[in-house]
Structure 1
Amino acid sequence: AVDLDAVADETERKALEGIISNFGQTPCQLLKEPHPPRLSAEDAARRLARLDTYSPNLFQNLDQLKAFFVEGISDGVPLVLAVVPHRQAHSFMTQGSPDLLVTVSANGLLGTHNWLPYDRNISNYFTFSKDPTVSNAKTQRLLSGPWPLGRGVSGRALAVAPDGKLLFSGGHWDGSLRVTSLPRGKLLSQLSRHIDIVTCLALDLCGLYLISGSRDTTCMVWQVLQQGGLSAGLAPKPVQVLYGHEAEVTCVAISTELDMAVSGSKDGTVIIHTIRRGQFVASLQPLGGAVPGPVAHLALGPEGQIVVQSLAQERPGAQMSYFLHLYSVNGRLLASQKLEEQTTALALTDAFVLLGTAQCNLHILHLHSLLPAVPSMSMKVPIHSVAVTKERSHILVGLEDGKLIVVGAGQPSEVRSGQFARRLWRSTRRISQVSSGETEYNPPEAK
């Protein structure tokens, strides 16, 4: 730093002014005290753990899993979808405003519930407020049907926009793809481009593109229209029509960032296409035996990993066995495991694979090895849907009997009456807890 006022020589002063004008100068001292020392990783983790406004990451506390249940959403009817959209908009003026939790039952019953993941001041780490319309026959909202004979709503043919504004549905008798507004439950549009029933849907993480698979062996990529930064519907014509399968398409996945559209079919093949040009990239044939069977589920990881759950016969005429495969973004087989149970739901996080089974178990596996991360959790009832909340704090499990199971982790502090309302609710808006949602799920052993 140079003090120009202290320079008596005029020529030297002008030279210094020129240097400063062209090259700048070191500023005067800003701080009189030393910088605080950097926290160690342990101290930083300990400080984050003390924060009251964040739920603990379930996958960092896998040794402390607990399950709670919520009843009365769709009694006796399978819960095929339960999801919290991950990009919901909230006003910064409203403190502690709840998220939307969307549920759909096999009979098409639509529920839009309130969900708060805050944990430190309540015993179950979350607050759930049930949609009152699901319990009243006069106010219930049903997805428009009718559905094919003998088939209800399938969770694989449903997708919720990341902002929670729209629900996309397939599986309709006329082969249409329909868009329903949330939470009103009003049908907005109906698109008929497939020539047979739409069997599966998937949205990318950004909510920009939707992919649909059909019995007609084709897949279509649709652009999701935006209005004011919110999802407003689908473009009337698909962006791409993808071919290559010789049998019914059973499951699909899509990633806009990686320009990947992946589809699995009943003949046991998995095909990868690009989204922007619709070009064929690769065809995979997951094997676990001599005779390949249908591809039941698939999902895309953050780095393009492809997780495939398929069936195969170890020899002609033998009973079908269940297999789980992991492929790289280039289609190279990385890991493969034989499953002892029939998978009915599959979800993927950054480093874990979640499986729900018809044998009533929830499995959490390491993504890179497909080996169990923790012992399986028994739900005592067949599982129909699995989803992870956006904070990675809870797993939402839909059961065949209509219950919603919420799996969390951690050791909550003692609850003090009224503390939750004082700390999190600064506005006049309130949310009531469902008593059953506070009950730990310990069902009796199945007979």
Structure 2
Amino acid sequence: MTAGGLFRIPLTLPIDRHWKLSHHENFSRMRLKLCPNFKFDPHTDASNLRDNAGEFLYFACSSHLQSVFEIPAAIRRDTGEDNLTEEDLSLVPETQAEGPESSGKEKLIISEPCELVTLMSKVWGRLEVTTSQVSFYDTSLIQKDVPERLDFKFSLSRLREVHLRRYNLRRSALEFFLTDQTNYFLNFTTKTRNKVFSRILSLRPPNLFSYSSRSPAELLRASGLTRKWVHREITNFDYLMQLNTLAGRTYNDLSQYPVFPWIIADYTSETLDLENPNSFRDLSKPIGVVNPKNIPEVKAKYDSFEDPSGTIAKFHYGTHYSNSAGVLHYLVRVEPFTSLHIELQSGRFDVADRQFHSIPQTWKLLMDNPNDVKELTPEFFYFPEFLKNMNKFDLGLLQGTKERVEDVQLPAWASNPEDFIYLHRKALESEYVSAHLHEWIDLIFGYKQKGPKAVEALNVFYYCSYEGAVDLDAIADEKERQAVEGMINNFGQTPIQLLKEPHPQRLSLDEAVAKMLKSELRRTNFTLFLDNLRPFPIEVSNEKDPIVFMSAPRSPPRSFLQASMPDTLISVSICGIVGAHSWHPHDRHSSKGFTMDVDPTLNNAKTRRKLCGPFHPSLPLNSHLFVVSHDAKFLFSGGHWDSSLRVYSLTKNKTVATVRKHFDLVTCVTLDQCGSFLLTGSRDTTCIVWDVSQLGSGSGSSTNLAPRPVRTLYGHNKAVSCVGIMTELDMAVSGSMDGTVNVHTIQEGQYIRTLEPVGLTSLDVEITFLALSPQGHVAFAANDKTSNSVHVFSVNGTNLGSKYVSGRVTGLAIAGDHLIVGDDAGDLTMSRLLRLHPVFDIPLHVPVQSVVVTTGNTHLLVPVRDGKVIVLGVTNS
């Protein structure tokens, strides 16, 4: 599977089908994708040890909690906001604060010892920051005469966010998020942390979008996230993920794992009724007292507790709603959590009856036991694979029924794990949860988290979960400090408090619609308001030279004073005429609600832009052959007679680079969402990943204008017809005229799996269109001589829906959890990604050329055969 020759991967490639979470998958702070685990361990020793131990095995978390009360009292300290002052941010001489572009020579800026934090462990090493790179070297084995090794390295240009973090309640860590959503969590001393943070900021990384020199509470206020959530501009799921991130929760530390609420209370009905309030959990109460029968016991525990030393404050709960053991309990079926669970259990699986084996049973136990207060992890809303025992671990037999623990038992209303995730996510976005979620936020992140309001709400946890409760640096005894540190690590940590006043309630759907329609600057997600979606035809070209390609809106570089300038839409006609159109998605002065000003040069033969050919006559121009850079500077094109990929400058109106790597025509090209990688497909049956992250950098004659080939992907038997790339998921996907869709990783070029259309068995099946979603859906269109169909799979290979369509698919796009299909009969339909249930249909009566979704799902752009572009948007008419 190397790029060294034309080796074909057989479609039935034997592969060790054992799976673990890929280290690169973290879009929107989510873990989505499984990858093959070639060093798979079935952990049979851990199963055997469990069975030999039987009932004498004690739950690891309990032993840890027992030790909590035996550790001498740690020293309290006052707590304040975790933010940096102007003095903190002025640690670097001005000579070093000129940015990486100021000198062509790379210089070392700072080098500091630190720890790389990974789930339940940490790796000693050294962080080095130069004028252009950030590197971490593993030095943990130097004492064993093993030389240090480079663990990770990234360009400063890839740095998107830097957040101040705490580790074991110390304000000593930093978390880096890159443009592809890869992230790293590093722990320093507090003083060193601030110095590293300041030095990085002084270099002015060009793509640094967010850095938290202010406190998390200030960041939340400044972000506008709460206003967006209140006005339904972002979903409940997205808002909770953002709150978790701002409050210091991270996938890199199990003791600070993102926390989500239990939202459903009905796990026995055959059908989940989302209109019935009784289907939902009371979000105004901590999970330990949702059952009113538990309230007296919880109150009595608090009232009767006294610590003679005065160190340990009163508390309602001796365990935490989010801790290492709880996270591993839920995710035990997926590596690396399986191995970490075994490590926490002293080398063995926990006994079967204590494993997570049933969602209804887990809920029942929570309601019966006020001492078990586990909330959920985000995986309950997007990752069905954690409910399956795909690796076939021996998880034991239940004592009562002697039933073997395999997949997690689901509620009666869910037919399979994918169905559960779909309905559970739908419940999270329901009207009931939307109306009451602010109450749960007050408990976890807000004004009921601490103090008298927390006492009143029965929401006080053991003191060591709160920031400021202990000062590890002040504990002189090494063993005592390690014991306290271990206790914090395993007990769990309360999120940083983000609000000290009640959180506002979300607008109802009717209120949000009314307010949105009156707003001067609407941020309308059309998938939420399909009843108000209307088409508007825009005359761009004519039926002799129709538009075959239109880009999503692109934002050219602009100054602060130009922030309100319109975006750009790039179009290409069937004759190769390029248009650069002005696009304003929100215009209160327009009856349409938007403005699209057609490029005036299209009407003048002397001024209009035309792509240099020749294009190969056997490949008519189509939407697969073009893609536009994110800054609207460059148009990439395939289909040229010399099998090249070409770069056309939209500012200079000429081809500025021609690169050849394929051995036959380039048939399709696409760009990722973060502007790092381009993917091309060819008639030579291969795909090539190109690095375009530095395109346009440099100055004068040294300006970098040619994409750099990174790796070649193999596996098809016929020409590649369509491609998709999602760098955030480390996923390159290709469809072929051989009827298959192949999935590879980008970073290593590793073959993952082949997807095939369901129900089509003839030998002449072709894949014609392909679309990817940030949630890891792979949608594609397939046809043979007698039928046309669309199919949706999860990133992990599960078929989520397939259906036949009447016409030949000519446009395919994903918006949120909807699949949009256009065909050559002039129909435009929208369906739910799961099950492909239709929700919207509009006859355009003219064959569709392509389908484009604008940023934020505000509009649909649909070029049609007569030269017009149909713009669909939400109106108040």
> What TM-score does the superposition give when structure 1 sets the normalisation length?
0.79
Q: Are residues 90 and 136 of structure 1, via their aligned partners in 2, closer, same or farther at CA, if it must alter by over 3 Å?
A: same
Deviation at 1:188, TM superposition (A): 1.1
Q: For residue 277 of structure 1, report the CA deviation from its aligned partner.
A: 0.7
Higher strand share: 1
Once the two structures are superposed, residues 311-353 of structure 1 have per-residue CA deviations (whole angstroms, 9 ceiling, x without a partner) of 24xxxxxx42111111111112121111121101111122111
Q: How does 1:188-207 map to 2 (within 5 A)?
A: 188-207=656-675
- Distance across 1 between alignment mates of 2:767 and 2:705: 27
Provide the rounded CA distance (Å) in 1 between the counterparts of 2:537 and 2:651. 23
Q: Letter of the aligned partner of 2:857 in structure 1?
A: R
* Matching residue within 707, 718, 741 for 1:247: 718
The 5 Å alignment of 1:159-178 reads 159-178=627-646
Residue identity opposite 1:59 in structure 2: T
State the distance in 1 between where 2:672 and 2:811 align.
Answer: 18
Aligned residues: 378
For 1:39, the aligned partner's letter is: Q
Mapped contact 1:179–1:233 kept (Cα < 8 A): no
Mark the CA change 1:370 to 1:23 in structure 2 (over 3 Å): closer, same or farther: same
Q: State the 1:295 CA deviation.
A: 0.6
Which among 744, 769, 791 is matched to residue 297 of structure 1?
769
Of the two structures, which has the highest relative contact order with CA contacts closer than 8 Å and spacing of 6 or more? 1
Partner of 1:396: 861
| Contact 1:225–1:233 (CA under 8 A) maintained in structure 2 | no
Partners of 1:373 and 1:257 lie apart in 2 by: 29
1:248 counterpart letter in structure 2: A
Query: Structure 2 vs 1, CA of residues 141 and 378 (structure 1 numbering), >3 Å: closer, same or farther?
Result: same
1:61-114 per-residue CA deviation (whole Å, 9 max, x = no partner) reads: 101221111214355212111223355544321353111111111111000011
Map of 1:93 onto structure 2: 561
Q: What letter corresponds to residue 394 of structure 1 in structure 2?
A: H
Equivalent-residue separation in structure 1 for 2:847 and 2:686 (angstroms): 31
Which range moved further: 263-272 or 219-228? 219-228
Tell me the SS of whatever aligns to 2:562. coil
CA shift digits 1:145-164 (9 cap, x unpaired): 11122543221011111222
1:302 is paired with a residue of what secondary structure? coil
- The alpha carbon displacement at 1:258 in A equals 0.7
Taking the aligned partners of 1:25 and 1:141, their CA distance within structure 2 comes to 62
- Deviation per CA, 1:296-323, whole angstroms, max 9, x where unpaired? 11111112111121124xxxxxx42111
Out of 728, 741, 744, the residue aligned to residue 270 of structure 1 is: 741
Counterpart of 2:544 (choices 76, 82, 99) is: 76
- 8 Å contact 1:49–1:56 — kept in the other structure? no
CA 380–183 in structure 1, closer or farther in 2 if over 3 Å, else same: farther
> Does the CA-based 8 Å contact 2:675-2:693 persist in structure 1?
no
Distance (whole Å) between structure 1 residues aligned to residue 78 and residue 535 of structure 2? 62
Query: Is the counterpart of residue 65 in structure 1 residue 537 in structure 2?
Result: no
Q: Hey, what's the Cα distance between the residues in 2 that align with 1:129 and 1:57?
A: 22
Q: CA deviation at 1:169?
A: 0.3
CA contact (8 A) 1:61 1:410 kept: no
Pick from 810, 821, 824: which aligns with 1:358?
A: 824
Residue 291 of structure 1: how far off its partner (Å): 0.6
Query: How many angstroms apart in 1 are the aligned matches of 2:696 and 2:608?
Result: 30
Pairing partner for 1:284 from 755, 776, 785: 755
The structure number with the bigger radius of gyration is 2
Q: Which residue of 2 aligns with 1:306?
A: 778
Q: 1:348 aligns with which of 803, 807, 814?
A: 814
The answer as to whether partners of 1:222 and 1:235 remain within 8 angstroms in 2 is no
- Change in CA separation of 1:150 and 1:196 when aligned onto 2, cut-off 3 Å: closer
From 146, 159, 167, the counterpart of 2:614? 146
Cα distance in 2 for partners of 1:40, 1:320 equals 50
Whole-angstrom distance in 2 between the partners of 1:48 and 1:296: 38
Segment drifting more, 277-286 vs 249-258: 277-286
- Cα pair distance change 1:37/1:196, threshold 3 Å: closer
Counterpart residue number, 1:441: none
Q: Deviations over 1:5-48 (max 9, x none)?
A: xxxxxxxxxxxxxxxxx834899xxxxxx957723432873655
1:210 is aligned to 2:678: yes
Aligned amino acid, residue 769 of structure 2: H
* Residue range with higher mean Cα deviation, 144-153 or 387-396: 144-153
Post-superposition offset of 1:183: 4.1
Alpha-carbon distance, 1:50 to partner: 4.2
Q: CA deviation at 1:221?
A: 0.3
Match of 2:693, SS state, is strand
Alignment of 1:31-50 (within 5 A): 38-42=504-508, 45=512, 47=515, 50=518
Shift of 1:187: 0.9
In structure 1, the residue corresponding to 2:657 is in which secondary structure?
Answer: strand
Cα distance between partner residues in 2 of 1:264 and 1:142: 29
In the alignment, which residue of structure 2 is the partner of 1:23?
77
What's the RMSD between the two structures over aligned residues? 2.5
Between Structure 1 and Structure 2, the one with more helix by share is 2
Any residues of structure 2 matched to 1:96-111 within 5 Å, and which?
96-111=564-579
Q: Partner of 1:41: helix, strand, or coil?
A: coil
Residue identity opposite 2:793 in structure 1: Y
CA offsets, 1:158-205, max 9 Å, x none? Answer: 111122221110011111100111244321100111111000111111
Alpha-carbon distance, 1:409 to partner: 1.4
TM-score when normalising by structure 2: 0.41
2:867 is aligned with 1:380: no
SS in 2 for 1:384: coil
**Cross-structure match for 1:117:** 585
The 1:154/1:48 distance shift into structure 2, 3 A limit, reads closer
Aligned partners of 1:223 and 1:26: how far apart in 2? 44
Identify if the C-alpha distance between structure 1 residues 248 and 47 changes in structure 2 by more than 3 Å, giving closer, same or farther: same
Residue identity opposite 1:243 in structure 2: Y
Distance 2:787 2:572 in 1: 30
For 2:775, give the aligned amino acid: E
How far apart are the structure 2 equivalents of 1:37 and 1:55? 22
CA–CA separation in structure 1 for the residues paired with 2:565 and 2:523: 15
